[in-house]
Structure 1
Amino acid sequence: MSQHPFFEIHKGLPREGPGNNESTRKAFQLLKGLPSHPQILDVGCGPGMQTLELASLTDGTITAVDRHEPFLQQLDQKKAELGLTDKIKTVQGDMFALPIAEQSMDLIWSEGAIYIIGFERGLREWRKLLKPNGYLVVSELTWLTEERPEKIEAFWKEHYPAIQRAEANQKMVEQAGYRLLHQFPLPEAGWWEYYKPMQERIRMLRDQYAGQLDMQQALDEAQGEIELYREFGAYYGYTFYILQRREEA
């Protein structure tokens, strides 16, 4: 096997996390004060499905950053096919040390990726990159109910212990120097837009890597995550937070 099991499973998938174009459009259309040609940063862009959608919605320029080169190559191919080369610039980089000047962006976008650096840390560090009164749009894994079955509580306690209710995230937003303009949950369809292609790839890789225990274990884990959402999706989901950098009085 030429790649880490995670990247082998995710290779060629249209998305690197739950989402759909309808939700990207909805979030973008809630931004009312963008300049006509905004500078946009897409952090943790993956293969760039949302990047391409953003490019169709704006006359601005998008800098799409990810640390995994094959994802950027996938995005480069798609932007060329769609004639968007002049609107999207891909940059291989680490969100822990983004190669972006302070106060240079009108809008920072990050779907399903801020968890890598942490919601609170991402809010604080990315604020520095925004122009005064600039916008930040992120989707973050969020508990949807006060109480959850023990099985799903234990799963996320192990895999993402920082998961919170929306109210706790709203407090972090305020403390990090933003105004919360809007928020809305990613619909169930956005999860299946991510999971259905993954399910097909899992089936293919089962045969291709028969007998390779590390790969089979990774496939079991990926399949298990899909089944957990199928059973417990009412208890957790991604929430879009549409924020504006707050300037001190």
Structure 2
Amino acid sequence: MTNPLEHDVFWKIHRDLPREAPGSDAATMQALAMLPDLPTNARILDVGCGPGAQTLALAKATQGHITAVDTYQPFLDELACRAFIAGVGEQITPVQASMFELPFDEPFDLIWSEGAIYIIGFAEGLAAWRRHLKPGGSIVVSDLSWLQPDPPAEAHQFWQEAYPGIATIEANVSRLEAAGYRSLGHFVLPEEAWWTNYYRPMGARIALLRTQYHDNPEAQRILDLEQAEIELYRRYASSYGYVFYLMQAA
């Protein structure tokens, strides 16, 4: 985002949302339950953690230590505050770093990434992060995926522009196997997990910002683009969704 106004409006929309991508604690726990048992003091890496809703859920459900990585320091500050209030601050270490160049030497038992691997790319992320995984360690990611082989033209065009790497579930399973992992299963995030913690609060924020920027056509255009994504999902939720992929280093 090189346009200062675009950057300003984007972060005003997304700041302090419950989550920065579709998801829920229930889905996080469902994915965790599908994994092999973790060591008692497991080392967990949460890549692209955002404000850390899933980080907190993992901390409460395990006795492991979680290194939570994001490039945006305000998200990390928010996570630290949330972790302190939740009583799991000692389990979580926020680190400002890029998922493209993770600055860690010791490997992790589990790498987790909800709604963020699209930034580096599904296959690219799995290939790059494998060196940070212990032998036999597991990875869990959620990624936008086609749920139909032939999605509606409007949805196809939108996501080909917004996320050219989007693929079907079958294609992503093939990708993870080609990257040297064994699939442990996958499941589709329920539609309500898009609305409760993401699209509904985002829509409310957009409505407030329309009043703030009532005399700024460029800001209104940016708000229109964000609203368009919400309306697209309202029409075509059956054709695409977030899918949790669980895998183990082969």
TM-score when normalising by structure 1 = 0.95
Unmatched 5+ stretches in structure 1: none
Aligned pair partner of 2:183 in 180, 185, 195: 180
Aligned to 1:5: 9
Aligned to 1:166: 169
Shift of 1:4: 2.7
* Aligned 8 A contact 1:5 1:214 in 2: no
* Secondary structure of 2:100's aligned partner: helix
How many residues were matched structurally?
Answer: 245
Structure 2 residue 161 is matched with structure 1 residue 140: no
* Secondary structure of 1:42's aligned partner: strand
- CA pair 239-2 structure 1, distance change in 2 beyond 3 A: closer
* Aligned 8 A contact 2:6 2:219 in 1: no
Which AA in structure 1 matches 2:119? I
Aligned to 2:24: 20
Which AA in structure 1 matches 2:200? K
Which AA in structure 2 matches 1:64? A
* Aligned 8 A contact 2:69 2:97 in 1: yes
Shift of 1:162: 1.1
Shift of 1:157: 1.2
Aligned to 1:106: 109
**Cα deviation digits, residues 133-178 of structure 1 (max 9, x gap):** 0000000111001112111111111111111111111111111010
Which segment is superposed worse, 106-115 or 211-220? 211-220
- CA pair 2-142 structure 1, distance change in 2 beyond 3 A: closer
* Secondary structure of 2:90's aligned partner: coil
* Aligned 8 A contact 1:61 1:88 in 2: yes
- CA pair 148-2 structure 1, distance change in 2 beyond 3 A: closer
* Secondary structure of 2:32's aligned partner: helix
Shift of 1:2: 10
In structure 1, how many angstroms separate the alpha carbons of the residues matched to 2:126 and 2:6? 35
Aligned pair partner of 1:120 in 101, 120, 123: 123
In structure 2, how many angstroms separate the alpha carbons of the residues matched to 1:99 and 1:230? 39
Which AA in structure 2 matches 1:73? D
* Aligned 8 A contact 2:6 2:222 in 1: no
In structure 2, how many angstroms separate the alpha carbons of the residues matched to 1:3 and 1:236? 27
Unmatched 5+ stretches in structure 2: none
In structure 1, how many angstroms separate the alpha carbons of the residues matched to 2:217 and 2:247? 44
In structure 1, how many angstroms separate the alpha carbons of the residues matched to 2:116 and 2:183? 19
Segments of 4+ moved more than 4 angstroms:
none
Structure 2 residue 240 is matched with structure 1 residue 240: no
Which segment is superposed worse, 17-26 or 148-157? 148-157
Aligned to 1:96: 100
Aligned to 1:35: 39
In structure 2, how many angstroms separate the alpha carbons of the residues matched to 1:4 and 1:96? 24
* Secondary structure of 2:243's aligned partner: strand
Which AA in structure 2 matches 1:147? D
Aligned pair partner of 1:220 in 220, 224, 235: 224
In structure 2, how many angstroms separate the alpha carbons of the residues matched to 1:9 and 1:238? 21
Aligned pair partner of 1:76 in 80, 83, 88: 80
Structure 2 residue 156 is matched with structure 1 residue 131: no
TM-score when normalising by structure 2 = 0.95
Aligned to 1:202: 206
